[in-house]
Amino acid sequence: MNVMRLHEIAWYAGQTAVVKGVRFEVSAGEFIALMGRNGAGKSTILDIMAGMRQPSVGTVMLDGRPLDSWTAAERARRVGHLPQAVRTELPFTVDQVVLMGRYPHADRWFDSDADRRAAERAMTTCGCLAFRDRRVSTLSGGERQRVLLAACLAQEPALLLLDEPSTFLDVDQQLHCFNLLREEAASGRACIAVTHDLNLALTFCTRIIVLAEKTVARDMAASEAAGSHDWLPLFSSRLEIDIARDGRPWVSYR
């Protein structure tokens, strides 16, 4: 089932095109890695999909309706967004921040038993239940990132947009993060994650979209990417695909 469609999207900073001619569809059950070099427009596209920026040209359709025809509350019940930078110095506890993910479903400012259960499930999934009573400002960068991801999961959207969700996470937590996103996609949710980690993308994602020259340069199944070298120069001329001991493809550099 198609969840979102981007048609000929462009966004300009003044007279300069940051992205142009971007078009792709996102379906339920997909886990898409949105990739590209610095400045390729990944965060811009994610912000447009989240309704945080209006495209200069083109249309975004959410469940068959123009995204700008949805109210903010309606959109928040369908789309979860973890941006690249989030203010975390405000005096909220972990529990309070994760419950904020339930606001689109809440009855005004009152959270229900269902809201609290959803928040607790999300904190358990993201490994932050143990410090639910601590202020977010006292946490490490990796711990804060897990809390913000838990808030997105508590929101229970149909589409998750995550801008570098593994930022600040140690290796084990990066693997846990991408594994849980793969599980979310397998349950029927659509997930898009901006990442620079080619091996995480090949291992966990179902599809890879590469931005280059201000537009979509490649859109391919992860299985196709694993068997081809011709997309790697979009990132660096020093990359190649090897085969690991267990038979899996692995991007290495020279």
This prediction's pTM: 0.95
252 three-state secondary structure: strand
How many structural domains comprise the chain?
1
Distances (CA, A) of 233 to 144, 206, 213, 236: 34, 21, 13, 5
Helix boundaries (H) for the chain:
42-50, 72-78, 94-100, 113-125, 141-155, 171-186, 198-204, 222-226
**CA gap 138, 241 in Å, rounded:** 41
Helices (H) and strands (E) in the chain, counts: 8, 12
Tens-digit pLDDT profile for residues 35-53: 999 999 999 999 999 999 9
Domain extent for 8:
2-253
Distance between CA 73 and CA 55 in Å, rounded? 20
What pLDDT is attached to residue 108? 66
Alpha-carbon distance 193 to 177, whole Å? 11
Kindly give the parts of the chain with pLDDT less than 70.
88, 108-109
CATH code, domain carrying 221: 3.40.50.300
**Cα–Cα distance for residue pair 31/181, rounded to 1 Å:** 7
CA distance 239 to 25: 28
